């Protein structure tokens, strides 16, 4: 489970994040105020009946400021008595564990689950959640493709999509002049990003391209969901392919023009604000502060395209109801409330997770977030875009799965080992995970049916 949860902010990450503590102290107030403004007039939709006592279990948004904002603003205006419970981000497995434990004990306390797509795959596999088709049909503002993902490949709607996040690129406007001639910022290629990073070094005398490569950064997501699938067309099957060798060779060369302090960066918003880095890639929630504070100096744009695709990793948060919920009607009422555009705008202000529902966002949302939203939309709509979903079905091996990509990075890029040798050895470790868990391939890898995914 941690494989998916580490995409969210965690207090652990934040505590290492030297400037964000200060920045946040100033920023949180402003963000909360924004949320309040946007929500005061709008977050009142939903049923007019009182929903009674509703226990909502959040597997996401567990940061202190996020919790406070959700209590104060998002849940305000809901007709009912909501008891929000947040899974500690330091122990993300607790979200799944508690739902399982309640099912085992035969007595449920939770009426609504707020979790990631991957969590719901686990719950559905174990028969812990019930269908929510009726609510999903009532909410007309949900885009059908997202609704379909919530069916988890079945005919039943198991979760209602709530919000989403992904990763984008951000550049300081000062370095736009170094962008390769003829390149379109909304449709860059990996080659152009490399040329750009190189030109920035030439122009500024320093490597100013940055990646979040510290232990708490999300570099492994860049490798898993962006770079490798863009070159090979998949996560696992092409791990040792010729194209993968190309991708790693690309990474090795790009590293020559990457800021050496990248190995200490967890959130790219900090070096972007201090201008140590002028061109970066990261999770939207980890770029939010920079875009909020300096919307006029920074520009957000879609990730680049490789020889096979413009691969990006979506992060989908959904709403589901446990089978043994004591107040399922209340849970459904809360789903309706949380999918109003007002509540979704507040979530965006608080967390940087974008609304799943269609609708006009309030102009009072900060310009930085609007810019980020625009980049995300362009990325989703790009004709060559391919979604690389987070690994599912590998359970507790999720941590190992990411470690393989990071170790491969360390050995090839930092220690300059032979690419083929490393891919051979790490590929064996990767295969071992699938042999152990029996997990089949997932998009964008070609489907392997019921058989475990195979590294070719």
Partner 1 sequence: MTTIAQETAPLTRRKRRWEGLPYWLILPTVVYLGLFFVWPMIQGFGLALRDESGHWTTSAFQTMVDDAAFGDAMSFTFLLILVIVPIQFVLALGMALLLNAKLRGAGIFLYIFLLPLAISDLAAGIAWSAIFTERGYLNTVLEGVGVLEQPFIFLDPTSKTQLVMVVAAAEIWRSTTFMMVILFAGLQGIPRDYVEAAEVFGAGFFQRVRHVIFPMLKPSIQVALLLRLIFAFEVFAVVIALTGSGATVLAAEAYKWQATNENEHVAAAYSMVILGLSLAAAAVVLVVLRTPRERRLR
133 CB neighbour count, 10 Å cutoff: 14
88-125 exposure pattern, b = at least 16 Cβ within 10 A, e = fewer: ebeebebbbebbeebbeeeebbbbbbbbbbbbbbbbbe
Asked if residue 16 binds partner 1 (CB under 8 A), the reply is yes
State how far the Cα of 382 lies from the Cα of 62, in Å rounded to an integer: 32
Between CA 212 and CA 64 the distance in angstroms is: 23
Closest approach of partner 1 to the CB of residue 393, in Å: 16
Does residue 18 bind partner 1 (CB under 8 A)?
A: yes
Q: How many CA atoms lie within 13 A of 103 on its CB side?
A: 16
Binding flag, residue 42, partner 1 (CB under 8 A): no
Alpha helices in 6-106 (DSSP H): 11-16, 18-40, 64-69, 93-105
- How far apart (Å, rounded) are the C-alpha atoms in residues 151 and 74? 26
Residues 226-265 that bind partner 1 (CB under 8 A): 259-261, 263-265
Interaction between residue 214 and partner 1 (CB under 8 A): yes
Q: Is 398 in the site for partner 1 (CB under 8 A)?
A: yes
Count Cα neighbours of 145 within 13 Å in the Cβ-side half-sphere: 6
In the complex, the smallest distance separating the C-beta of residue 262 from partner 1, rounded to whole angstroms, is: 8
Q: Which of 215, 384, 428, 435 binds partner 1 (CB under 8 A)?
A: 215
> Which listed residue (144, 153, 205, 449) binds partner 1 by CB under 8 A?
205
Which residue number, 3 or 362, has a Cβ lying nearer to partner 1? 3
C-beta atoms surrounding 215 within 10 Å: 11
Structural contact between residues 307 and 238, judged by C-beta atoms closer than 8 angstroms: no
CB neighbour class for 344 (10 Å; exposed up to 12, middle 13-18, buried from 19) = buried
Q: Which is nearer to partner 1, 11 or 446 (CB)?
A: 11
What is the pairing mode between strands 112-116 and 315-322? antiparallel
Which position among 68, 275, 384, 428 is part of the footprint of partner 1 (CB under 8 A)?
A: 275
Taking the complex as a whole, the smallest distance from the CB of residue 131 to partner 1 amounts, in Å, to 31
**If binding is defined by CB under 8 A, does position 294 make contact with partner 1?**
no
137 lines the binding site for partner 1 (CB under 8 A):
no
In angstroms, rounded to a whole number, what is the distance separating the alpha carbons of residues 51 and 79? Answer: 6
Q: How many residues bind partner 1 (CB under 8 A)?
A: 37
Considering the rule CB under 8 A, would residue 286 count as an interface residue with partner 1?
Answer: no
User: Does 221 interact with partner 1 (rule: CB under 8 A)?
Assistant: no
Q: Does 308 bind partner 1 (CB under 8 A)?
A: no
**Interaction with partner 1 in 57-96: which residues (CB under 8 A)?**
90, 93
Phi-psi region of 358 (alpha: psi -120 to 50; beta: other; left: phi over 0): beta
Task: State which of residues 133, 249, 276, 297 lies at the interface with partner 1 (CB under 8 A).
Answer: 276
Q: List interacting residues with partner 1 (CB under 8 A).
A: 2, 6, 12, 15-16, 18-19, 21, 90, 93, 205-206, 213-215, 217, 259-261, 263-266, 274-276, 396, 398-400, 402-403, 407, 410-411, 414-415
């Amino acid at each position: 489970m941690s494989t998916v949860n580490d995409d969210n902010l965690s207090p652990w990450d934040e505590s290492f994040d030297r400037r964000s503590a200060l920045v946040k102290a100033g920023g949180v107030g402003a963000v909360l105020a924004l949320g309040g403004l946007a929500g005061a007039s709008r977050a009142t939709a939903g049923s007019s009946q009182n929903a009674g006592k509703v226990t909502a279990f959040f597997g996401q948004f567990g940061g202190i400021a996020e919790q406070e904002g959700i209590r104060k603003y998002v849940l305000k205006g809901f007709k009912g008595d909501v008891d929000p419970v947040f899974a500690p981000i330091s122990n993300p497995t607790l979200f799944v564990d508690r739902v399982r434990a309640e099912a085992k004990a035969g007595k449920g306390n939770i009426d609504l689950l707020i979790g990631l797509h991957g969590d719901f795959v686990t719950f559905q596999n174990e028969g812990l959640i019930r269908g929510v088709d009726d609510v999903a049909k009532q909410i007309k503002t949900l885009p059908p493709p997202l609704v379909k993902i919530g069916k988890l490949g079945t005919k039943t709607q198991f979760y209602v999509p709530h919000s989403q996040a992904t990763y984008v690129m951000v550049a300081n406007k000062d370095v736009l002049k170094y962008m390769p001639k003829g390149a379109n910022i909304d449709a860059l290629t990996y080659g152009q990003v490399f040329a750009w990073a190189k030109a920035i070094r030439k122009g500024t005398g320093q490597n100013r391209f940055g990646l979040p490569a510290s232990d708490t950064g999300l570099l492994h997501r860049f490798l898993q969901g962006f770079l490798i699938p863009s070159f090979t067309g998949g996560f696992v099957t092409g791990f040792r392919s010729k194209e993968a060798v190309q991708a790693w060779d690309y990474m090795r060369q790009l590293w020559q023009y990457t800021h050496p302090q990248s190995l200490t960066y967890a959130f790219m918003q900090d070096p972007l604000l201090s201008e140590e880095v002028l061109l970066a890639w990261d999770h939207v929630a980890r770029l939010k502060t920079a875009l909020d504070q300096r919307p006029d100096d920074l520009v957000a744009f879609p990730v680049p395209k490789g020889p096979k695709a413009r691969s990006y990793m979506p992060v989908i948060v959904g709403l589901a109801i446990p089978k043994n919920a004591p107040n399922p009607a209340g849970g459904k009422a809360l789903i309706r409330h949380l999918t109003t555009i007002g509540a979704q705008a507040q979530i965006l202000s608080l967390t940087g997770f974008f609304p799943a529902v269609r609708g006009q966002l309030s102009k009072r949302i900060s310009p930085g977030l609007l810019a980020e939203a625009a980049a995300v939309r362009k990325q989703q709509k790009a004709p060559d875009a391919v979604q690389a979903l987070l690994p599912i079905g590998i359970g507790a091996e999720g941590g190992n799965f990411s470690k393989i990509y990071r170790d491969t990075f360390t050995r090839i890029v930092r220690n300059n080992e032979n690419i083929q040798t490393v891919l051979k050895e790490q590929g064996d470790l990767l295969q071992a995970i699938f042999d152990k868990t029996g997990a089949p391939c997932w998009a964008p890898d070609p489907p392997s049916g019921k058989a475990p995914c195979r590294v070719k």
